Amino acid sequence: MEPLIVINFKTYEQATGENALNLARICDAAAKETGVNIIIAPQHADIYRIASEVSIPVFAQHFDNIKYGSNTGHILPESLKAAGAVGSLLNHSENRINLASIEACVKKLESLGMASIVCTNNVATTMAAAALDPDYVAIEPPELIGSGISVSQAQPDIITGSVKVVKKISKEVEVLCGAGVSTADDVKSAMELGAEGVLLASGVVCAKDQDKALRDLINF
Amino acid sequence: MEPLIVINFKTYEQATGENALNLARICDAAAKETGVNIIIAPQHADIYRIASEVSIPVFAQHFDNIKYGSNTGHILPESLKAAGAVGSLLNHSENRINLASIEACVKKLESLGMASIVCTNNVATTMAAAALDPDYVAIEPPELIGSGISVSQAQPDIITGSVKVVKKISKEVEVLCGAGVSTADDVKSAMELGAEGVLLASGVVCAKDQDKALRDLINF
Amino acid sequence: MEPLIVINFKTYEQATGENALNLARICDAAAKETGVNIIIAPQHADIYRIASEVSIPVFAQHFDNIKYGSNTGHILPESLKAAGAVGSLLNHSENRINLASIEACVKKLESLGMASIVCTNNVATTMAAAALDPDYVAIEPPELIGSGISVSQAQPDIITGSVKVVKKISKEVEVLCGAGVSTADDVKSAMELGAEGVLLASGVVCAKDQDKALRDLINF
Amino acid sequence: MEPLIVINFKTYEQATGENALNLARICDAAAKETGVNIIIAPQHADIYRIASEVSIPVFAQHFDNIKYGSNTGHILPESLKAAGAVGSLLNHSENRINLASIEACVKKLESLGMASIVCTNNVATTMAAAALDPDYVAIEPPELIGSGISVSQAQPDIITGSVKVVKKISKEVEVLCGAGVSTADDVKSAMELGAEGVLLASGVVCAKDQDKALRDLINF
């Protein structure tokens, strides 16, 4: 089975504006050459430019639970779709939203034909998120985010526990392994524990050589 | 003196994606033909596409008080500048931010060479906003937003009072008149009361004929 | 089986300060005379005074996911326990909190020996909340809150659906029926649909005669 | 002139429940014996109990910009007054509120006959806050909060600058000096720079001997 690699650009300088476009091209080229499934999640203002230039899927990092109308400065999911996004992260640890909003946003993405990745922080919240029927749940223990220590190696029980409770709720929700992922071994161990892929950011975005870091990561 | 016309696209369907681009072109053409100063504020995901196609100034509707780094889903001002924005609304009634953030965001825009418009709701908050030294303060009594009743006509004291307290603080901060603006008369009365321009949304965006509504508005 | 009646005082004038104490005494007297289980949830500032005077359980309406320390103005669960609260509502529709906070707050209440009632808005979020293992889930379709139309009568499927998904997750989580409850018939139908009780506010708090409204409600 | 000493209990364990009551009594006794003006700001759930037992003024740490009605879990100013509070902190750095809310809350306190202390973080936001006409502005540079390094000694310009801009706006708004205050010397230097008093927390609350720390502080 092929792992899915989701790269969150966050608001890193190395992934803003021109830099975001460059990184997107690196990911696009690597995906084409290796056949690995790579999804990128750049900032809202970079989505249009990137989606116009690459063929790998572009996701948003977040949007608001709003409808067309008077919501100055908020992120309308329809604006993301119009810009070329085909999915979105939701409830990232740096941008938590409430339970009712997660549910409404998952449904909204589905109605727009877009995919959803709901981020969670432990086994219990992963089970809760699975009950909302997203496409993916990405489990990221907060203490490992940005640590360089992979959850799949440091806390394998969280992955196996998450896979177990998710599958109890629904066979169709897939589990991604986030937090601390940076090497091909991290990806391999995540897959062996039952995850369908990984969600990462700094491991690639902040690497001195982004292309090399990505190639190393997907050389599993 | 030439009034400044700022058009907030909000998240209206008539101003999202392709529709946003169309409206931006209407505004651009009207500005070129008439020489009137028009600023447009589309959604974040539409800024790049619009700024690439029009020559009038494009502003953001909002951004977050953050720096480069780990802020998944938040709006980094540098990403807006990279996409072509040359200024931003701040503290719109639909997206209030705290006092410390307004101050930090005004300073950040200045450091990026971008312009700031701080929205306020009455004379006292207008005076407070002026103390933060933005380029513009836009006074919008909440009860008139989207009402079709112009503050310049319904509550002229709010405009004259705002102009007075702002000038007491700083000669360089300019006052815009928001809420309910939809006709050339509204603009004229705002100017007569001492404002330097208007901030509006539905009056143009939601008009059946956006071009006609805009032409009527700037035919002062 | 005895229904549980939870009365949320919200911030109604009829349930603030002296009025809150009066209403608490009405509830206390009714509970003693009838043997019905009544829980009251007054405002934070009223908890100490009320808990000192009545013997029915006093719950908080909300608290923050914080620990002892520097959190000026936030609600520390330990402060509520010290004031006499023995449980808390969480995630009320008027005060939504994020998924990670619901999970942490449920656990915190358990560690303090206090009971948890997590409010939800539909079947999917009820299932999600049940995965977090609270004592109670209170399902309140937002459109019926304060409507005087009981969910148990207007949308019985939501109650039966909620009970079904909750029991699939855990036999120990109990379901309360909220939104629009105001009569003994509402309570009866909620119980028949599988709920263990009701959560209500305006039906009693805003009644001209609070005592009569409560007596009518619990005369099932 | 007599300095005003405001002690913020935050959510410290040493200032919660019984501990809050003990500390309030220490402050009350010291104020009575020395004649120094001491205001205490305990947690919401502790206000009633404390205000019933001490004669020094009790303030809240925060409240929400709401009216009587449906605001489950939010803090109604009327509930604080009913519990015995005679004023409130607003916009503390740990609980920032938006500009429109600061203005509305200052007015609300005034209408309830209660006093307002608006916290700010630099000279510009202090000037802005003064424009809202509160009773006090408390300037607390964020980097010094909890540091044990007094703003009055480390950054005297911030105090003198704040006093100057505040007096430009209004002669009636008074300036408190916050952040890092812990000794009588800190109080003295704050007064010499033009402040009317100090706002502090950990210096007294977290001291091994709270009574001694307070006595030392007010022995100016």
**What is the total count of domains within chain B?**
1
Residue C12 DSSP SS3: coil
The model's confidence at residue D43, banded by pLDDT at 50, 70 and 90, is: very high
Find, among B202, D68, B80, the residue nearest to C202 by Cα: D68
C75 touches chain D (CB under 8 A): yes
B45 touches chain A (CB under 8 A): yes
D66 neighbourhood in chain C, CB within 8 Å: 11
Region D151-155 average pLDDT: 79
Q: Please tell me whether the overall predicted TM-score, pTM, comes out greater than 0.90 for this model.
A: yes
Who among B98, B124, B130 is closest to D98 (CB)? B98
The C-alpha atoms of residue C183 and residue C181 are separated, in whole angstroms, by 6
B150 touches chain A (CB under 8 A): no
Choosing from B62, B103, B140, B196, the catalytic residue is: B140
Say if D and B touch: at least 3 Cβ pairs within 8 Å: yes
* B2: DSSP letter: P
- Residue A22 amino acid letter: N
Residue C58 DSSP SS3: strand
A166 CA: distance to closest CA in chain C (Å): 11
The model's confidence at residue B151, banded by pLDDT at 50, 70 and 90, is: confident
A96 touches chain C (CB under 8 A): yes
User: Chain B 18-37, CB below 8 Å of chain A: which residues?
Assistant: 18, 20
Tokens of D143: 């980097």
| Per-residue pLDDT at D143 | 79
Q: Which one of D98, D102, D133 would you mutate to disrupt binding with B, by most B Cβ within 10 Å of its Cβ? A: D98
Nearest CA in chain C to A133: C124
| Per-residue pLDDT at C182 | 86
The C-alpha atoms of residue D35 and residue D86 are separated, in whole angstroms, by 19
pLDDT digits over B65-108, tens only? 999 999 999 999 999 999 999 999 999 999 999 999 999 999 99
Nearest CA in chain B to D139: B100
Contacts of A141 (CB under 8 A, 6+ apart): A121, A122, A151, A155, A158, A179
Who among C45, C69, C146 is closest to D12 (CB)? C69
Region D120-134 average pLDDT: 97
| Per-residue pLDDT at D188 | 92
| Per-residue pLDDT at C188 | 92
- Written in H, E and C, the secondary structure of B53-109 is CCCCCEEECCCCCCCCECCCCCCCHHHHHHHCCCEEEECCCCCCCEHHHHHHHHHHH
The model's confidence at residue B64, banded by pLDDT at 50, 70 and 90, is: very high
| Beta bridge partners of residue A40, listed in sequence order | A7, A58
Edge-to-edge order in the sheet of strand A115-120: A37-41, A4-8, A197-200, A174-178, A136-139, A115-120, A87-90, A59-60
| Per-residue pLDDT at A154 | 82
pLDDT in tens, chain C (220 residues): 689 999 999 999 999 999 999 999 999 999 999 999 999 999 999 999 999 999 999 999 999 999 999 999 999 999 999 999 999 999 999 999 999 999 999 999 999 999 999 999 999 999 999 999 999 999 998 877 777 788 777 888 999 999 999 999 999 999 999 878 889 988 999 999 999 999 999 999 999 999 999 999 998 8
Query: Which has the minimum average pLDDT: B40-54, B136-150, B203-217?
Result: B136-150
The C-alpha atoms of residue B6 and residue D218 are separated, in whole angstroms, by 54
Choosing from A92, A103, A174, A196, the catalytic residue is: A92
Domain holding B135, by residue range, is 4-218
A16 touches chain B (CB under 8 A): yes
Residue C184 DSSP SS3: helix
Q: Does the structure show a pLDDT above 80 at B176?
A: yes
D172 as an active site residue: the answer is no
Q: Do B62 and A72 touch (CB under 8 A)?
A: yes
| Beta bridge partners of residue B139, listed in sequence order | B120, B177
First to last CA, chain A: 12
Q: What is the CATH number of the domain that holds A66?
A: 3.20.20.70
In the predicted model, residues of chain A with pLDDT beneath 70 are: 1
The model's confidence at residue B55, banded by pLDDT at 50, 70 and 90, is: very high
ipTM of the complex: 0.95
The C-alpha atoms of residue D209 and residue D215 are separated, in whole angstroms, by 10
B140 as an active site residue: the answer is yes
